[in-house]
Every structure is written in C-alpha cells, then in structure tokens.
Amino acid sequence: MATIESDSVVVHDSTEDHEGPAVKRPRVEEPTSDVHSSEAPVAAQQSEPGNDPADVNEKPEKSPTNAGRGGKRKFAILLSYCGKGYFGMQRNPDVRTIEEDLIQALYKAEAISEDMRDNLGKMFFQRCARTDKGVSAIRQLVSVKMYENKADKDKINSHLPSQIRVIAIIRVTKKFNSKDYCVARSYEYLLPTYALSPTFEQTRRDFRITSEQIDKINHLLSQFVGTHNFHNFTSGKSPHEASAKRHIKEFCCGEKFVAEGIEFLVLRVKGQSFMLHQIRKMIGLVIAIIRNIADKEALARSFDDSKADIPMAPGLGLMLENVFFDGYNKRYSNDGTHVALDWEIYHEETDAFKQEHIYNHIIQTESANGVMMHWLGTIPLHSFSKNKAIGNKDSSTVEKSEEAEQNKTELADTTSTESSTYKNV
C-alpha cells in the first residue's frame, strides 16, 4: 500500500458521475438526471417523492415459495468499489461489471430469487450513477427490491471480492428510485501535479505545485460553474440538443499530498448530472491551458455552437465521490419509518476503503506505468480549433473525429512503457 505524506493546504468546500474509458457498446440515452452518471438535460424535471400514504406504510410482498426469506421490500444499497479490472458499473453481456458481481452476490446470499437475478425489472434494480470502465466509486447507491430477512450486509459481502464492499443497506419507500431521486453527484479526480507544470522541462515526478498555480487552476475551474452548453465535452451530442446543457454547482482544487515520490492534487466537481466523458474532457482542457498548449480563450469558446477538439484526461484518476438525496430526505427522514440517506455516519468506513483500494490503486498504477505522463504526450495532437458551426444533420463528421480522439486517449490509458522523461527522474 502506498505511503502518503500529507501536505498542509486549504481544502475547498466542494464535492464528482461516472466517467472513465468508454466500453464499446451501443449508446443508451438515460432518462432523468443520471450523471454519466446521467444523460438528462438540466431542464428535465426531477422526480419527486410521492405523497401516497402507501409510500410510507407499505407492506412487504409475500411469496409462498420463499419461506424464511420474508416478504420483499425496497432497499437502498450503499456501495464502495475499485473499478480496476471491471468494464464499468452497468451490467453487460460477456464482460465483467460491478453490477454483475453485486447481483450474483445478492443471489448467493438468497436476498433475491433466481428469477429476479435474471430479470432486473423484477427486482426494480436501478443505479444512481453509471460509472465507466476502470472508474471507481467511494459512494454509489443502487435501489433494489429484495427479501427483507436476507438483507444481510455481511453475508452479501462474503460473496463479493474485496474491491467491492456493501457499506450499508437501508429501507426506503417502495417508489424510491436511486437515479431519479438523486439531485446531485460529485466526483473526485486524483491528478499528478506534474501534469500542471507549465513547461516540458518541469514535467517530472519531483514537480511540486505552488499556491499561486493552484489559484490559477481554481480560476479556470470556476468558469465551468453554472449552466453551460457542454456539447464539446461528450460524444455525439449536437449543440442544439437540450440535453447538452448541464449545471455545475462546484468545481475546485482540494487537498494535495505526496505518495511514491509523486505529488497528487484532488480536484472535486459537483453537478446535477454529467454526460459521457464530460468530467475528463473538462480536466483535459484545463491541463492543456495550464501547459500553454491551448489558449486561455479556448474554455469560453468551447461553450458556443462550434465544434472544438478537446483532449480527454485518463480515466485512472476519476471516482464517484458522493450522491445527494435532499428532496427524499426532506420528505421522509422524519416519517418514523425511514431514515435520511446521509452518508456521514459511514465516513470512516468509506474513507478507509478509498485509501486502501481506490487511492492505492491509482497511486501504484501511476507510479509504475506513468499513465498521465503518456497521455500528456497526446495533447499536442489536438487542434483546439473552432470548426464551422455544427448543424443538426452534421453528426457523421463529428462522430468520426470523436472516434479518432477516443483512440488517442485509449492508447495513452493502456500503454505500459514508461517515457524516458518519467524513467530518468
């Protein structure tokens, strides 16, 4: 496990959907507010908890064929996981996913039946955020109907690998949906600070960032805050689509620390929802500006209707940090039956998992393979230029350029040969 030396720095009060290298699969447009975890437009109405008394006083569904398991009730499962070796959160045929391992563990623990395991609709399964290949989660929430007498956290964990942990199982209302009831998501990105060095000569493992440089980065990050058209920060999205507009609540630098001789800086972003690759592209553009590869005006231009060629930072450092249920908590936390979906009481457990499994994996992989160093070499391949404004029917050209850009990033993500600059430091 990596040794971490904390360095004192002001921690900004902020808190990052699901991103990471994309799996080659058909594009699925999610309904309301999921951040790449979510593909929902800012203007979409958030689902509100119902006022039906039955939503509070529901009775468990009885099943005569499952004696001893009790009736079925709706639960929220709080998860922590490291995305190493997984092709994302969402269940997909023939690949290893977080959901597949979780569902099999629920079945082995007898919390769901075989029929429910094979048909997610029968267990009303829903994820809060759809994290991509290799992306981790400090706090992820899924909602599921399962047998109340078998909702045993320890037993379910006994059927899971150590890199996936059920932190808590919480009774929720029968209409609860973890995606639709989530009002915001926050992500962290663990960034080697040498990526923010202004010159190639300073791009070394022993680079240390200054407070003045952090102020400059925070200024750039703050320009993303608010509602903007983020069509240039995802794939296959026209600037004329309502869903291209997203609202960012907070985006700033957090703490910094040194591990394995490399200084890391935590970036935190909080928003209603995020699109595919959005966070990684926002970070990629900021890095390009700080390194003087893109001009300062590139960020403001990226919000207009013209297509911009923006690099996508590696998925290695990205993790879902938190999910928020303010509306649900206000309506149900004091009804005498349910509790608030507030994760503060689990902070010690989730933080320990983050340090041992998520941070340690990112630090060790970066130290051994220089993932960020390799990716930095691909930034000059991007033009950051403004092409002519995109019309509603010009998507084929857009898709081809995005596919080429994705191939550049995947090459940087998967290569394992260290650069000479990285090795000789």
The residue ranges of every structural domain in the chain are: 4-19+183-321+353-423, 58-182+325-343
Q: What is the pLDDT of residue 271?
A: 97
Residue percentage of the chain with pLDDT more than 70: 74
Query: pLDDT at residue 50 above 90?
Result: no
> 171-204 burial, b if ≥16 CB within 10 A, otherwise e?
ebbbbbbbbbbbbbbbbbbbbbbbbbbeeeeebe
Query: pLDDT at residue 37 above 60?
Result: no
Tell me the mean pLDDT in the region 289-301: 94
Which residues, at least 6 apart from 159, have a Cβ–Cβ distance to it below 8 Å?
A: 104, 105, 108, 109
Give the pLDDT confidence of 19-30 residue by residue, as tens digits.
444 344 433 333
Tell me the mean pLDDT in the region 253-273: 97
Question: Per CATH, is 58-182+325-343 categorized as 3.40.50.2300?
Answer: no
Give the chain's mean pLDDT.
82
Q: How many other CB atoms are there within 10 angstroms of residue 101's CB atom?
A: 18
Query: pLDDT at residue 52 above 50?
Result: no
Token pair 């990105």 is found at 189
* CATH architecture designation of domain 4-19+183-321+353-423: 2-Layer Sandwich (3.30)
Q: What is the pLDDT of residue 263?
A: 98
pTM of the model: 0.81
Query: pLDDT at residue 17 above 80?
Result: no
Active site residues: 132
Give the pLDDT confidence of 329-383 residue by residue, as tens digits.
999 988 888 999 999 999 999 999 999 999 999 999 999 999 999 999 999 999 8
Query: pLDDT at residue 192 above 80?
Result: yes
Query: pLDDT at residue 401 above 50?
Result: no
- Answer whether 4-19+183-321+353-423 and 58-182+325-343 agree in fold: yes
CA distance 422 to 203: 8
Tell me, rounded to whole angstroms, the distance of Cα 357 from its chain centroid. 16
User: Taking the CA of residue 208 as centre, how many other CA atoms within 13 Å lie in the half-sphere pointing to its CB?
Assistant: 7
SS3 sequence, 120-177?
A: HHHHCCEECECCCCCCEEEEEEEEEEEEHHHCCHHHHHCCCCCCEEEEEEEECCCCCC
- In Å, how far are 191, 263, 353, 374 from 257, measured between CA atoms? 10, 6, 18, 22
Helix (H) or strand (E) holding 72: strand 72-81
